[in-house]
Amino acid sequence: MPETPESLRHLLRTKLGKQKLIVVSNREPYMHVYQQGRVQASSNLKEKKLSKLA
C-alpha cells in the first residue's frame, strides 16, 4: 500500500514528535514555496531565475 501525504505526516509526528526532519536529495533541483497553506514545488528554477532578471 503506497503512503499518502497524511499517513507520512502521522508517522513522522508519531516517531519524531516536535523534532524537525531535513530531507536532502541530489536529484534535479526543485523550488518549494509555501502558498495558500500548501507547499508548491516547481522544477523550472532556471526559467524562474531568468524571469526575475527580466
CB neighbour burial string for 7-25, b if at least 16 within 10 angstroms, e if fewer: eeeeeeeeeeeeeeeeeee
Res. 45 pLDDT band, cuts 50 70 90: low
Phi and psi at residue 11, to the nearest 5°: -60, -45
Q: What is the pLDDT of residue 14?
A: 93
Phi and psi at residue 8, to the nearest 5°: -70, -40
Provide the number of structural domains found in the chain: 1
| Highest-scoring range by mean pLDDT, 21-25, 40-44, 45-49 | 21-25
What's the pTM? 0.40
Query: In this predicted model, which residue has the larger pLDDT, 29 or 38?
Result: 38
Parent domain of 20: 5-53
